[in-house]
Amino acid sequence: MPPISSGNDSGSDTDNENVRLKAEATSANAKLNQIILKRMQAAITADPGISLRRESQRIFKEAVDEQKSSMPRVKNPKFANAPTGPEPGYCDRLVARTHNAEIMYALSDETRKVLSSYMEPDSRSKLVEASLVTLLSRMILSCEKLWEGLAGTRGVVLKCNPRLAAKIIQGNDDYTEYTSLQYLEEHAPDIPVPRPHGLVKFGSARIIFMTYFPSTTLESAWPNLTHENKLLIQHQLNDIFLKLRALTSTGAEHILGGVNGEGVQDLRRDGHKTRETISTVAAFEDFQFSIAPHNISSYIKFLRSLLPPASSTVVFTHGDVRTANIIVDIDQFGGYYVTGIIDWETSGFYPEYFESSKILYLFRLYNCKEDWWQYLPPCIAPAKNPERWLIDRIWDEFVYA
């Protein structure tokens, strides 16, 4: 199949888009924060003994839903046939302001076939002259939306066809997820993860084409699972993560972070990562606890003194194991089984304890009645490294206070 060309617009458009998008997101978030604060103040005034955690979750969800429903529909002049709906979305705004695209990782035949389907009928023989921006824009506005980020500012996941999905995420400074999918396809092809089908820089966002899993998340299925089915899922996940953890960094130095040198990520700090080379577990821990001004606290030094000695081994790590990132399906007997693990944005080579210290990091924000914690894969459960899990949560509270 002939190559698909990209637009000829200047790369400076991307910088302008990033500035505009950041300002737009900041303005929307500022308004959202003001609404939440006012409602929290009113709730506390009405009942000083109210449960802040439970009430803040309810108010936050209501405010976000109201914000999304009140946003005006963006009319996109590019395509008269674009589907319409009651809500605007990330896709409309992204397409309306994007004028350049570039293929960063080669597109598979499946991806090219999908893009070709958005050519005008009389121009199928002139694919080489097609604008990549136009084809991607048509695809983005036409495909079924599987997921959209909070308040429609971070990105979306689209179903391109029964075999292919497109994950569109804001920003073009980190391709960790894609390079991890490439690595796993080569080194662990039996682990159920999406296969990479190409990556495109689309204005201020990146589009990752990958395998589509036609099923549901474990998060959605969990309430329907029996105790026996939960044990089966636990056993399947343990087998998967044992295989994953058998992958270790090679070479004279064990470079931590993304498999292609993307650096170590820490979601607690601005920028989320470092480009500095970190090749030892000790240096990694220094980086973790280096967030100013908390890093000079005697209390933090005391907490670190309680940590047990760490092994120098680094293993391949997902970094965000939770039920929303586990895909399951139903067998002929009505039982659920694991079909895939998704969302590899924070993956790479990390200390062997790291997965177990990060799992359940959002547990305190969820419904405490959820019993997922009782069925965690043993090889990555907090019980493997309880001191590290507890101190990591204390460090969370300290940084976010």
More confident residue, 195 or 50: 195
How far, in Å, CA of 268 to CA of 274, rounded?
A: 12
Contact 266, 273 (CB under 8 A): yes
The total number of residues written for the chain in this structure: 401
The pair of structure tokens assigned to 117 is 């389907």
- pTM reported for the whole predicted model: 0.78
Domain ranges for the chain: 90-211, 216-400
How far, in Å, CA of 167 to CA of 66, rounded?
A: 25
Instruction: Name the strand (E) or helix (H) holding 180.
Output: helix 176-187
Q: Could you tell me which residues are beta bridge partners of residue 192? A: none
Contact 348, 256 (CB under 8 A): yes
391 pLDDT higher than 60: yes
27 pLDDT higher than 80: no
229 pLDDT higher than 70: yes
How far, in Å, CA of 230 to CA of 228, rounded?
A: 5
pLDDT of residue 226: 94
How far, in Å, CA of 233 to CA of 231, rounded?
A: 5
Q: Could you tell me which residues are beta bridge partners of residue 341? A: 326
pLDDT digits (tens, 9 = 90+) for 288-297: 888 877 778 8
Q: How many CA atoms lie within 13 A of 90 on its CB side?
A: 22
CA R_g for the chain: 23
In the structure, what pLDDT confidence band is assigned to residue 56 with cuts at 50, 70 and 90?
A: confident
Share of the chain above pLDDT 90, in %: 53
234 pLDDT higher than 90: yes
Domain 90-211 of CATH type 3.40.50: no
Q: Could you tell me which residues are beta bridge partners of residue 161? A: 164
SS3 251: coil
Q: Which stretch of 117-126, 318-327, 366-375 has the lowest confidence by average pLDDT?
A: 117-126
How far, in Å, CA of 203 to CA of 15, rounded?
A: 9
What is the mean pLDDT of the segment spanning 236-246?
98
pLDDT of residue 73: 40
pLDDT digits (tens, 9 = 90+) for 67-101: 655 544 444 444 445 444 445 678 999 999 999 99
103 CB neighbour count, 10 Å cutoff: 17
pLDDT of residue 72: 45
Fold of the domain built from segment(s) 216-400: Aminoglycoside 3'-phosphotransferase; Chain: A, domain 2 (3.90.1200)
